[in-house]
């Protein structure tokens, strides 16, 4: 979701600004943290090389 759409859906500026530091902030639920972690893992794995 892009920030413009997130704002239109009621997302707070604070959560949008702190998204890159989601592990260190208290603004995200356990479910949201799980989704963010899953997304982070997928991004790391996609760039991994296989030899």
| Token pair 């603004």 in the structure block, residue | 27
Query: For position 41, what pLDDT does the model report?
Result: 87
Q: Give the total number of structural domains in the chain.
A: 1
Query: For position 42, what pLDDT does the model report?
Result: 72
pTM of the model: 0.66
Residue 39 lies in a domain: yes
Query: What pLDDT digit, counting tens, does each position of 13-37 carry?
Result: 999 999 999 999 999 999 999 999 9
Cα(47)–Cα(11) distance, integer angstroms: 30
DSSP 28: S
Residue 24 lies in a domain: yes
Cα(14)–Cα(44) distance, integer angstroms: 26
Query: For position 45, what pLDDT does the model report?
Result: 54
Range of the domain at 41: 3-46
């Amino acid at each position: 979701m892009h920030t413009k759409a997130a704002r239109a859906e009621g997302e707070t500026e604070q959560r949008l600004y702190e998204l890159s530091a989601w592990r260190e902030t208290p603004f995200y639920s356990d479910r949201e943290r799980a989704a963010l972690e899953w997304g982070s893992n997928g991004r790391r794995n996609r760039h991994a090389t296989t030899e």
